[in-house]
A and B are shown apart, each in its own frame.
Chain A
Amino acid sequence: MSRNVAIVGAAAIPCGRHQKAPGDRVQVLEHEVLAGVVLDAVRDAGVSKDDVDALFFTHPRPYTRQLYFGTFLASYLRLPCDGVLVEVVADGMTGGLAFDQAAETVRSGRAEVALALGINLETAVSSSEHMDRSMRATGDVEFHAPFGFIPISWYAMDAMRYLYEFNAKREDLAMVAVKNRRHASLNPLAQYRKSVTLEEVLAQRMIVEPLGLFEVPPRSDGAACVVVASEEAARSLGRPYVLLRGRGFHHEGVHQVSDVPGDMISFVSVQRAGKAAFEEARIGAADVDLAEIYAPCTIVEVLVSEALGLAKRGQGAKAAAAGETSLGGRIPICTSGGLLARGHPPFVTPLYSFVEIAEQLRHRAGARQVGNARLGLATCELGNHNAALIHVFEARP
């Protein structure tokens, strides 16, 4: 069986610092929070508890006390299912693959309605302590971690290379952060809703050169749930829904850095996944009305926009600085505020992209609504963009 799949509902808590310090008497418990989000999402979709056939959880952080979290939550919600119940682990792409697997399960006919959901609490752990762990993820644990390569150090080297190769302006790169803060100021789910100026972005302390504090991801907690259904089921609900039109994936068989010298900043994974997604959707980059790009740093948004063909090679930063990727511009990118401003609770971050796509393509995004938005795409990645997962969506009012 193969059929069309749609997003019919979505819900999330605002990104922010929700986790309590270990010693605090009253804690924020992951299962309580996520259970509430599930109820919100299911209500938003207009489906009932009995309709849900499959659950795709993002694997929780190692800091989460409750293990076997997925099955525990199904019990917490008394939610039996005949499809499947899985915790997905796929590095930064985890939330994206949870959605992807939910969509495939519905497409195959194993479920009519599936949930892609998860919670990521981690902000009670300090950044330096957190990095003792994350540096073991984004590199060879014997040949990179001993030098202190941290996740964003790779993006910083992308930025250095970009500035060098294209003679790009440092200020243009920083404008991506200014733009995303402005978008986030219009998003109730965003962690940083105060606009900032270019001067403020450039004045921040250095984190990984050339990127300062506002150009690298914040620490965030978050929880989200996306309701996926067959198009048939979606139509029967009698509400606007969001049709999945195309999908592409590519992993380049490289973890972080290839020992074969090549162009590290052309993001081959995005080129290939994007091409596959556009072909399946039978559209081109120019047809897209908005893009939610998984970009932990300013540079990543620029490089993905170029690899997707939303901007010309070497011109992505300039395009952002010129307002082309702002709300009201030629191709609004990260209307949610993106990872930099909406927030980045890593394992569930891609779910927030689908939440934004669901809002925009059901024309419910309020002050940040892209006028007449019909086609949107969401990207996510892992490593130094060694893999990309891209979904193209269409509004069905």
Chain B
Amino acid sequence: MKLAVQKMPGRRPFPPQESAFTARFWQALGEGELLATRCRECARLTFPPKPLCPHCWCREVEWAPLSGRGVIYSHTTVHAAPALFAQEAPYRLCIVDLDEGLRLAARLVDAGSGVGIGARVEFVVLRYEDGPLFAARPLDAR
């Protein structure tokens, strides 16, 4: 299932670095796919993706696409922002429990003040000029 894409103005204020390993994640994200890694031994999912399983220390992992749907566990709005993010403040952040049983932290976008803990969300791609980031938005925001 492809994630919706939102065009964002300008460049990412603090772009993530890519490694030879995580390049796959960021490339897939740019194409609308949110990936985790899954251990071939213990089958547990891991996010952010890693070239090893932190649970059983196995090196055999595979890429696993995520549904990108889940529930807000908690959230906040940052009013006093780092200098790098001054242009974007205030901005909302959230922790989401995905349906696959994985917890992610990300931006929360397109959410009215009533959207809070327990709300169903879906992940979207934020397409900046220099590359993608991801965010959660209310499932009914489309």
Contacts and interface: CB of A to CB of B under 8 A. Distances in A.
B73 A259 contact: no
B82 A131 contact: yes
Nearest to A257: B105
Contact of A157 (B76, B88, B90): B76
A390 interface: no
Interface in A122-163: 126-129, 131-132, 134-135, 139-150, 153, 156-161
A174 B105 CA distance: 26
B64 interface: no
A207 B118 CA distance: 23
B76 A132 contact: no
Interface string A245-257: 0000000000001
Contacts, number: 127
Contacts of A139: 105
A296 B91 CA distance: 21
A142 B105 CA distance: 12
B104 A132 contact: no
A148 B93 contact: yes
Given A129-B83, A132-B82, A261-B102, A158 B74 contact: yes
Nearest to A155: B76
A283 to B, nearest CB: 34
Interface string B98-125: 0001111111000000001110000000
Contacts of B139: none
B82 A150 contact: yes
B103 A260 contact: yes
Among A126, A128, A129, chain B packs the most CB atoms within 10 A around the CB of: A128
Given A148-B85, A258-B103, A261-B103, A161 B74 contact: yes
A200 interface: no
A258 B73 CA distance: 12
A145 B58 CA distance: 27
Contacts of A128: 80-83, 86
Given A160-B116, A261-B97, A208 B103 contact: no
Contact of A160 (B74, B102, B104): B74
B101 A160 contact: no
A149 B103 CA distance: 15
Contacts of B89: 148
A131 B80 CA distance: 9
Contacts of B46: 259
A3 interface: no
B83 A157 contact: no
Interface in B50-94: 73-86, 88-91, 93-94
Nearest to B14: A146
A208 B80 contact: yes
A128 B16 CA distance: 20
A169 interface: no
A207 B76 CA distance: 10
B44 to A, nearest CB: 8
A209 interface: yes
Among B48, B83, B97, chain A packs the most CB atoms within 10 A around the CB of: B83
- For the complex of A and B, 5 pairs with smallest distance between CB atoms: A131-B82, A156-B76, A157-B74, A142-B16, A128-B83
Interface of B: 12-18, 22, 45-48, 73-86, 88-91, 93-95, 97, 101-107, 116-118, 133, 135
27 contacts: A127-B80, A128-B80, A128-B82, A128-B83, A142-B22, A143-B47, A146-B12, A147-B106, A147-B133, A148-B84, A148-B85, A149-B93, A149-B105, A150-B78, A158-B74, A159-B76, A161-B74, A161-B117, A205-B79, A206-B79, A257-B105, A259-B45, A259-B46, A259-B48, A259-B102, A259-B103, A261-B103
Given A146-B16, A150-B81, 19 more contacts: A128-B86, A129-B83, A131-B80, A131-B81, A131-B82, A139-B105, A140-B48, A142-B18, A147-B93, A147-B105, A148-B107, A153-B76, A159-B76, A164-B117, A206-B79, A207-B80, A259-B45, A261-B103, A264-B73
